[in-house]
């Protein structure tokens, strides 16, 4: 009688386990549910909101992750985020965009990051990484002497002219080179 070939478990990453009996084996069922690995299946899950309502968006470069962050901003902040992004994009044509540390970053094409956004419960914080060099100074100081902030609140209009001026000034500075 010929020796029977051993059957193996063919799950990806599983070690081969020979079968020691002649009966056909039934596949073992995992107690954990299977996850779809299809890259074409769209994800309908909304990003998780972190402390203060800041969307959790994976680190990535380009406009798409920034737009995903803005779309996930809760309540009035999403529309304000769209306005801020439009002001920044108009003020600095060809602005470089990315999401780092769950926050959108804006940078010059050949320099570092000059601005970042972050959601908090009551406001959106705009961080000018070299804000101490801007004229006039953005209103909120930071622990870091170079950084200055502008807080955008729901009931306060955005001073587009002043914001555009700060964005243009900030984009002309060397910027922050953090990855």
Count of CB atoms situated within 10 Å of the CB of 116: 23
CATH (domain of 119) = 3.90.1150
Residue 177 lies in a domain: no
Residue 124 lies in a domain: yes
Q: Which domain holds residue 57?
A: 51-171
Instruction: Please give the structure tokens belonging to residue 82.
Output: 């769209």
Residue 158 lies in a domain: yes
pTM: 0.74
For residue 18, is pLDDT > 60? no
Phi, psi of 17 (to 5 degrees): -125, 110
Measured distance CA(129)–CA(84) in Å, rounded: 16
Count of domains in the chain? 1
pLDDT digits (tens, 9 = 90+) for 117-166: 999 999 999 999 999 999 999 999 999 999 999 999 999 999 999 999 99
pLDDT digits (tens, 9 = 90+) for 42-89: 445 678 888 888 899 999 999 999 999 999 999 999 999 999 999 999
Residue 9 lies in a domain: no
Residue 15 lies in a domain: no
Measured distance CA(69)–CA(47) in Å, rounded: 8
């Amino acid at each position: 009688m010929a020796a029977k070939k051993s059957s193996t478990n063919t799950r990806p990453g599983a070690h081969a386990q020979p079968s020691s009996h002649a009966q056909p084996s039934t596949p073992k069922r995992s107690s954990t549910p299977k996850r779809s690995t299809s890259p074409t299946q769209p994800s309908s899950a909304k990003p998780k909101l972190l402390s203060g309502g800041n969307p959790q968006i994976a680190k990535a470069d380009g406009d798409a992750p920034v737009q995903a962050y803005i779309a996930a901003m809760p309540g009035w902040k999403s529309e304000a985020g769209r306005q801020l992004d439009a002001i920044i994009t108009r003020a600095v044509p060809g602005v470089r965009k990315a999401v780092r540390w769950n926050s959108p970053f804006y940078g010059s094409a050949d320099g570092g990051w000059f601005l970042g956004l972050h959601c908090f419960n009551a406001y959106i914080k705009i961080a000018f990484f070299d804000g101490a060099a801007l004229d006039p100074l953005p209103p909120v100081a930071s622990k870091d002497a170079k950084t200055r902030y502008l807080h955008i609140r729901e009931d306060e209009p955005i001073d587009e002219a002043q914001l555009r001026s700060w964005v243009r000034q900030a984009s002309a500075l060397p910027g922050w080179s953090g990855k």
